[in-house]
Amino acid sequence: MARQLPLVLAVVIATTAVLAPATVATADGKTTVVQEAKADAAAAHAAQLVSEMTTAEQAASIVMGHISTHDPAALSTYMAGNGLGGFILMGGNVPGTEADLQTATAALSSDPALPPLIAIDQEGGDVSRLPWDTFAASSTLKDRPAAETAAAFAARASLVARSGANVNFGIVADTTPDPSSFIYSRSLGADPQGAAERVAAAVSAEEPFVASTLKHFPGHGAAPGDSHQLIPSTGLTLDQWHQADALPFIAGIDAGASLLMFGHLDYTAVDDAPASLSARWHQIARDDLGFEGVIVTDDLGMLQSTGLPAYADPVANAVSAVVAGNDLVLTIAHSTPETAGQLAEGIAAAVGSGALPAERLQDAAERVMKLRLELAASSAVWAPCADCAPAS
């Protein structure tokens, strides 16, 4: 039986209107949005911090690395030695208890005022790193009212926050009616409109606890095949995409998703390059859909897994990803403890050679830094209390 929503979550959901950033009327009758003022302050602070960084430090700050261990000393050494902006938790990072996981995630951060982005793939169901997450997943939610999605994802986000992670790569905005598709059971709906409603509900429920992420832009549904093994391809036109597969992403962006993960998907009618390496698709996300948050690649190691010679060099893939418009590059598959540092060195070298404009790196570093500052500032208000456990 699915677990009941913990009391602390019910209180947070019920008081969202009170705790959410308020609006204040000024003497001249204009309205100032406090949320926008805080965002502007974070952006200014981020720009200042990034301006004081070397090119090498900026490059490291936009790499999200990974090593497979939950040993606190090893994790601390890895992060401190590379100066990375992020770390992704996989199965090998999750020990047997929540308390031990909290110890491991705490070791990833040397400065509580500026924690790294600590991400996890906690979709629930088929893709779940936290074994104690028994809340409803997409496979059952996809046919249920959006309110049930909100309840499940609020509870799930609470577990993620309690673990010490601050980013959840957990909202699948892909949609497909094909049960044979590898993404079907992970999707929040078989039709674009229904998926859009549940995606928006999931984002709104997660954001009070952690930074939510929409994936895998521009959508796996139209492109058959598993991108862990190949680059799925579709001839869908941009107009056709806007009418269907785009809808869940638009809904999630409008609901306030903090991150947008780009998939290794080839929409041949739009661009020859896979979306993760396509400047055109990044322009669509920014200009057409209005996304202003952090754009992160799906695992760049997946490109190597295709076996295609064009993607055999992980450093070249990372540089191409940043040039295209990604703010954060993710490395998991095929990576060693040295890989993240090598990617950072390659990105910095690309700035020196002119292959990567310094302004593009600075822009990416500022977006990542802004999110880190916002998460640090909000954690004291939004993080669930340590003693609040989900009801059995």
In a domain, 1, yes or no: no
pLDDT at residue number 16: 37
In a domain, 157, yes or no: yes
329-330 sheet: strands from edge to edge? 294-297, 259-262, 211-217, 167-172, 117-120, 86-89, 63-65, 329-330
Average pLDDT value for residue range 100-118? 96
Domain of 207?
Answer: 7-382
Average pLDDT value for residue range 30-54? 82
Q: How far apart are CA 305 and CA 298, in angstroms?
A: 13
In a domain, 389, yes or no: no
Least confident among 109-113, 245-249, 255-259, 384-388? 384-388
Give the residue, 287 or 38, on which the prediction is more confident. 287
Average pLDDT value for residue range 84-88? 99
Q: In what helix (H) or strand (E) does residue 23 lie, and over which residues does it extend?
A: strand 23-25
pLDDT at residue number 229: 72
Q: How far apart are CA 193 and CA 196, in angstroms?
A: 5
- What's the number of CA atoms in the CB half-sphere (13 Å) around residue 124? 27
Confidence class of residue 386 from pLDDT cuts 50, 70 and 90? very low
pLDDT at 52 over 70: yes
Exposed/middle/buried for residue 31 (C-beta within 10 Å: 0-12, 13-18, 19+):
exposed
In a domain, 48, yes or no: yes
Give the residue, 272 or 13, on which the prediction is more confident. 272
With a CB cutoff of 8 Å and minimum separation 6, the contacts of 226 are: 182, 232
Percentage, residues of the chain above pLDDT 70: 87
pLDDT at 27 over 70: no
Q: How far apart are CA 253 and CA 217, in angstroms?
A: 11
How many domains does the structure of the chain reveal? 1
pLDDT at residue number 304: 94
pLDDT at 15 over 50: no
- For residue 86, the cross-strand partners are 64, 117
Give the residue, 184 or 10, on which the prediction is more confident. 184
β pairing state of 329-330 and 63-65: parallel
pLDDT at residue number 230: 72
Please name the amino acid found at residue 89.
L
Confidence class of residue 221 from pLDDT cuts 50, 70 and 90? confident
pLDDT at residue number 35: 66
How many C-beta atoms surround the C-beta of residue 24 within 10 A?
10
How many C-beta atoms surround the C-beta of residue 179 within 10 A?
8
Angle, CA of 259, 261 and 267, to the nearest 5°: 140
pLDDT at residue number 378: 82
- Whole-number average pLDDT of the chain: 89
pLDDT at 20 over 70: no
Start-to-end CA span in the chain (Å): 9
Alpha carbon distances (Å) from 148 to 11, 202, 326 = 16, 9, 33
Percentage, residues of the chain above pLDDT 90: 81
pLDDT at residue number 9: 43
Least confident among 171-185, 194-208, 278-292? 171-185
Alpha carbon distances (Å) from 143 to 131, 137, 187, 275 = 24, 11, 11, 29
The two three-digit tokens of residue 355, written as one number: 């292959």
In a domain, 391, yes or no: no
Average pLDDT value for residue range 3-24? 37
How many C-beta atoms surround the C-beta of residue 19 within 10 A?
12
pLDDT at residue number 388: 40
What is the per-residue pLDDT across 302-351, written as a single tens digit (0 to 9) for each?
999 999 999 999 999 999 999 999 999 999 999 999 999 999 999 999 99
pLDDT at 135 over 80: yes
The two three-digit tokens of residue 218, written as one number: 């521009």
In a domain, 32, yes or no: yes
In a domain, 387, yes or no: no
Alpha carbon distances (Å) from 327 to 130, 200, 240, 378 = 27, 23, 27, 22
Q: How far apart are CA 72 and CA 122, in angstroms?
A: 21
pLDDT at residue number 26: 41
Average pLDDT value for residue range 192-196? 98
* Buried residues in 253-284 as b, exposed as e (16+ CB within 10 A): bebebbbbbbbbbbbeebbebbbbbbebbbeb
In a domain, 355, yes or no: yes
pLDDT at 1 over 80: no
Closest CA to 360 of 15, 110, 22, 59: 59
Least confident among 36-40, 289-293, 318-322? 36-40
What is the per-residue pLDDT across 274-286, written as a single tens digit (0 to 9) for each?
999 999 999 999 9
CATH number at residue 193: 3.20.20.300
Q: In what helix (H) or strand (E) does residue 60 lie, and over which residues does it extend?
A: helix 55-61
DSSP 328: B
pLDDT at residue number 34: 56
The two three-digit tokens of residue 370, written as one number: 């802004």
Least confident among 16-30, 127-141, 237-251, 373-387? 16-30
Angle, CA of 264, 360 and 340, to the nearest 5°: 60
Q: How far apart are CA 70 and CA 14, in angstroms?
A: 36
What is the per-residue pLDDT across 340-382, written as a single tens digit (0 to 9) for each?
999 999 999 999 999 999 999 999 999 999 999 999 998 644 4
